[in-house]
Amino acid sequence: MKQLLLVFLGGGIGSMLRYLISRTFNDFFQNFYLGTFIVNIIGCLIIGLVFGLSLKNNFLTQNQTLLLTTGFCGGFTTFSTFAFENHSLIKAEEILHFSFYTLSSITLGILAVLLGFWLAKLIH
């Protein structure tokens, strides 16, 4: 039961923060969803850092890792919104924007996870 509450708490905080960031930044550029992009890249960085820290000498407990990864990152990041936004770009025949948004999100997301693991190694 405690683990379910941790996921619930982390997910709620992540979802609220995602909403605020998306609401603030999604209108900055036409045909590029900056808010969703920001939360997904930051979420990738956080999950890499958290998993990196949890693997390193038990720096984080299992419950802390669950709260931050499945809970917070699960609520904060959003693949379904990313997929819907890509659908909207394709429907609007914005193939160049679709390509840039998709490739940059995937590439930078993976690089952010790697950066998180690398940063975890630096923490003593």
pTM here?
Answer: 0.90
Angle between helices 34-55 and 95-122 (to 10 degrees): 30
Tell me: is residue 69 an annotated ligand-binding position: no
Q: pLDDT tens digits for 2-57?
A: 999 999 999 999 999 999 999 999 988 888 999 999 999 999 999 999 999 998 87
Among left, alpha and beta (phi > 0; psi -120 to 50; other), residue 16 is alpha
Number of C-beta neighbours around residue 7 at 10 A: 18
Q: How far apart are CA 50 and CA 59, in angstroms?
A: 9
The pLDDT, as a whole number, for residue 13 is 97
Phi and psi, residue 58, nearest 5°: 55, 40
Residue 107 Cα to chain centre, angstroms: 13
Q: Which pLDDT tens digit goes with each residue over 102-116?
A: 999 999 999 999 999
Q: Is 74 annotated as a binding residue?
A: yes
